[in-house]
Amino acid sequence: MANKSNRRRFLQAGAAAVPLFHIVPPRALGHQGPAPSDTINLGHIGIGGRGTRFLRREADFGKAIPATTNLGGDGTRMNSPAKSIALCDVDSARLDKAATAVGGRPKMYKDFRRLLDDKDIDAVVIASPDHWHALMTILACQAGKDVYCEKPACNTIEEGRAMVTAAERYARVVQIGSQGRSQPAAWQAGMYIRNGQLGRIKEVLCWHYASPDGDWTPDAEPPQGLDYDMWVGPARWLPYNAKHTHGQFRWMIDFGGGQIRDRGAHVMSIANWIMDCDHKGPVSIEATGEPPHDGMYDSGVTMRVVYEFKDPDWTLVWAQPGVPSKEIEARYGAVYHGDNGHLTVTLGDGDGTATDPKVKQYVAPWNGQKIFKSPGHMENFLDCVKTREKPVMHMEAGHRVASLCVLGNVSFQLQRKLEWDWKNERVRNDEEANRLLSRPGRGPWHL
């Protein structure tokens, strides 16, 4: 009961909200970010896989970074002066490899809390497995750090709302790593649709290939140098298994949540952005599909999730596998259907995001709707660290997109339609579903 009380207090916005951990923000009531001329000192939490994309080599500091360099995760130039001065990972081998790649003498940590204590760090890049995103982001905000956190923002609705509360309470810049919003093709499609070129949008159909079925691989002892207890952190404890840790965690609901919470956080992020739904949600969610036949994974193999929105009325469909676009060949994406035709936006997680040629040729009228054009996802984040403006994929937007992914999985697990009160973030008349909107945490790791 005490844990529930702690979570409830934090989720209440305002000065009375008190999280479990108490870290005094070093910039509280003072300087809120680096001066425009300052170098932004970055700390990196999670430096395997995606995390390696954000590392800045000591030898490159002060040099012009080529536009083809993929440090921002989206292939765009990053001009803001930033240095990778601290690295953190629970795997010693990955930590050593990243330190070698960065060069110089970066500070090295195995406990992210020690990195957050480092007052030389202005902002952190969080690329840990998904089940750690919420607590790391919240604690980073409390510690006075701005945050670039990879998608999906969170594993539960409660976590996402707590992240929004922390970002607002501590006046932190938080960018969620759904990079599609910083892709020119997505921006062009948004301008085209927002200015009525398709008429009223009635349906957005997303497609993606299925999740893996998995197999049975025996549990084992963790490899030397991996702090596996810390890797599991707030999630439900499972014995170590190579098939649900590095690179494989996405197919476990407790750690990753399947394709819908992976690529869905890219494709549906663009849909929410184009449809101007960053501050609202659907009114109903209904998922069907096929669970794993055998093996150790527990996320849906095939899934079809239908989200109904109101005011304006439109439908979003996530389908794995779905029907690919006939106009542009891609492994995943979405087709936007309106009164006056349709268009495609593919991918959404970086290089290769594309849209129809007719969209690329479109020029919006001078008095038409405007959408912010990002210079690049990481570049936009670093710019906002200086200006204190909200980035293109701010925390509320990240939470709303993650909510679509979470609710799709909840409906799939329960095999029934959910009536969603998006303002209060509760399922109407379904307490069993509401219990799946949070998780108890493990040991000291809970909200």
pLDDT of residue 72: 42
pLDDT of residue 300: 94
Q: Answer yes or no: do 158 and 262 share one domain.
A: no
Q: Answer yes or no: do 281 and 417 share one domain.
A: yes
Q: Answer yes or no: do 42 and 122 share one domain.
A: yes
Helix or strand run (H / E) with residue 148 = strand 146-150
Crossing angle (nearest 10°) for helices 264-274 and 395-414? 120
DSSP bridge partners of 206: 318, 334
Whether 328 is in a domain gets the answer: yes
Residue 79 to residue 134: CA distance in whole angstroms? 29
pLDDT of residue 64: 54
Whether 390 is in a domain gets the answer: yes
Q: Answer yes or no: do 199 and 302 share one domain.
A: yes
pLDDT of residue 120: 96
- Assign 415 a pLDDT band (cuts: 50, 70, 90): very high
Q: Answer yes or no: do 204 and 352 share one domain.
A: yes
Q: Answer yes or no: do 11 and 157 share one domain.
A: yes
Residue 72 to residue 326: CA distance in whole angstroms? 30
Whether 418 is in a domain gets the answer: yes
Helix or strand run (H / E) with residue 138 = helix 133-142
Q: Answer yes or no: do 66 and 189 share one domain.
A: no
| C-alpha neighbours within 13 Å on the C-beta side of residue 102 | 28
Give per-residue pLDDT as tens, 243-253: 999 989 999 99
Q: Which of 127, 67, 130, 133 is nearest to 98 (CA)?
A: 127
Residue 23 has pLDDT above 70, yes or no: no
Residue 147: domain span: 2-181+382-395
CATH at residue 294: 3.30.360.10
- Assign 63 a pLDDT band (cuts: 50, 70, 90): low
Whether 416 is in a domain gets the answer: yes
Are the CB atoms for 136 and 111 separated by under 8 Å? no
Whether 438 is in a domain gets the answer: no
Kindly list the strands in the beta sheet with 333-338, ordered across the sheet, starting from the edge strand earlier in the chain. Answer: 341-346, 333-338, 201-207, 314-320, 302-309, 284-290, 418-421, 426-427
Give per-residue pLDDT as tens, 210-220: 998 878 899 99
Whether 447 is in a domain gets the answer: no
Give per-residue pLDDT as tens, 83-109: 999 999 999 999 999 999 999 999 999
Give per-residue pLDDT as tens, 163-186: 999 999 999 999 999 999 999 999
pLDDT of residue 309: 98
Residue 115 to residue 99: CA distance in whole angstroms? 15
For 247, phi then psi, to 5°, come to 75, -10
Provide the 8-state DSSP code for 244. G
Residue 429 has pLDDT above 90, yes or no: yes
What is the percent of the chain with per-residue pLDDT over 90, rounded to a whole number? Answer: 81
If you average pLDDT over every residue of the chain, what do you get? Answer: 89
CATH at residue 138: 3.40.50.720
Q: Answer yes or no: do 45 and 88 share one domain.
A: yes
Q: Answer yes or no: do 238 and 355 share one domain.
A: yes
Pairing of strands 201-207, 314-320: parallel
Residue 133 to residue 163: CA distance in whole angstroms? 9
Q: Answer yes or no: do 235 and 142 share one domain.
A: no
Give per-residue pLDDT as tens, 102-139: 999 999 999 999 999 999 999 999 999 999 999 999 99
Q: Answer yes or no: do 160 and 33 share one domain.
A: yes
Pairing of strands 426-427, 418-421: antiparallel
Whether 121 is in a domain gets the answer: yes
Amino acid at 315: T
Residue 243 to residue 296: CA distance in whole angstroms? 8
Pairing of strands 174-177, 146-150: parallel
Give per-residue pLDDT as tens, 25-43: 334 434 466 655 589 999 9
C-alpha pair distances (Å), 82 with each of 62, 78, 94: 9, 9, 22
Whether 115 is in a domain gets the answer: yes
Residue 17 has pLDDT above 50, yes or no: no
Residue 196 has pLDDT above 90, yes or no: yes
Residue 74 to residue 58: CA distance in whole angstroms? 21
Count of structural domains within the chain: 2
Structure tokens at 146: 């701005």
Structure tokens at 248: 């494989």
Q: Answer yes or no: do 63 and 119 share one domain.
A: yes
**With 0-12 CB in 10 A as exposed, 13-18 as middle and 19+ as buried, what is 146?**
buried
Q: How far is CA 63 from the centre of its chain?
A: 30
Residue 57 to residue 79: CA distance in whole angstroms? 14
Residue 317 has pLDDT above 80, yes or no: yes
